Amino acid sequence: MHVHVISSEGEAKFWLEPEIELAKNYRYSRKQLKEIESLVEVHYNELISAWQQYFRS
Protein backbone atom coordinates (compact mmCIF):
# COMPACT_ATOMS: atom_id res chain seq x y z
CA MET A 1 0.00 0.00 0.00
CA HIS A 2 1.17 3.49 -0.75
CA VAL A 3 0.02 7.10 -0.93
CA HIS A 4 0.90 9.89 -3.31
CA VAL A 5 1.30 13.46 -2.09
CA ILE A 6 0.94 16.06 -4.82
CA SER A 7 0.99 19.84 -4.59
CA SER A 8 2.23 22.80 -6.59
CA GLU A 9 5.53 22.45 -4.68
CA GLY A 10 6.26 18.85 -5.59
CA GLU A 11 5.23 15.22 -5.57
CA ALA A 12 6.13 12.26 -3.38
CA LYS A 13 5.15 8.63 -2.90
CA PHE A 14 5.25 6.91 0.48
CA TRP A 15 4.94 3.19 1.13
CA LEU A 16 2.63 2.47 4.06
CA GLU A 17 3.63 -1.16 4.53
CA PRO A 18 5.60 -2.95 5.80
CA GLU A 19 6.56 0.43 7.28
CA ILE A 20 6.22 4.07 6.28
CA GLU A 21 9.01 4.79 3.82
CA LEU A 22 9.65 7.38 1.14
CA ALA A 23 9.58 5.72 -2.28
CA LYS A 24 9.93 8.73 -4.60
CA ASN A 25 10.40 12.46 -4.26
CA TYR A 26 10.23 15.22 -6.84
CA ARG A 27 11.01 18.76 -5.63
CA TYR A 28 10.05 18.52 -1.94
CA SER A 29 12.72 19.68 0.51
CA ARG A 30 13.90 17.48 3.37
CA LYS A 31 11.95 19.68 5.78
CA GLN A 32 8.76 19.25 3.73
CA LEU A 33 9.29 15.49 3.53
CA LYS A 34 9.64 15.28 7.32
CA GLU A 35 6.39 17.23 7.72
CA ILE A 36 4.61 15.00 5.20
CA GLU A 37 5.93 11.84 6.85
CA SER A 38 4.68 13.12 10.21
CA LEU A 39 1.22 13.63 8.75
CA VAL A 40 1.28 10.15 7.23
CA GLU A 41 2.16 8.72 10.66
CA VAL A 42 -0.62 10.67 12.41
CA HIS A 43 -3.23 9.65 9.82
CA TYR A 44 -1.87 6.14 9.17
CA ASN A 45 -5.04 4.25 10.18
CA GLU A 46 -7.25 6.57 8.12
CA LEU A 47 -5.01 6.16 5.08
CA ILE A 48 -5.01 2.36 5.36
CA SER A 49 -8.80 2.31 5.74
CA ALA A 50 -9.34 4.63 2.76
CA TRP A 51 -6.91 2.61 0.62
CA GLN A 52 -8.71 -0.65 1.48
CA GLN A 53 -12.15 0.82 0.78
CA TYR A 54 -11.04 2.33 -2.53
CA PHE A 55 -9.48 -0.86 -3.87
CA ARG A 56 -12.21 -3.14 -2.54
CA SER A 57 -14.78 -1.63 -4.89
pLDDT of 28 reads 99
User: Exposed, middle or buried by CB within 10 Å (0-12, 13-18, 19+), for 54?
Assistant: exposed
Predicted confidence (pLDDT) per residue in 2-55, tens digit: 999 999 999 999 999 999 999 999 999 999 999 999 999 999 999 999 999 999
Strand, coil or helix: 54: helix
pLDDT of residue 50: 95
Q: Are 10 and 26 in contact (CB under 8 A)?
A: yes
Total count of domains within the chain: 1
Quote the domain boundaries for residue 14: 2-56
Give the pLDDT of residue 19.
97
pLDDT tops 80 at residue 57: no
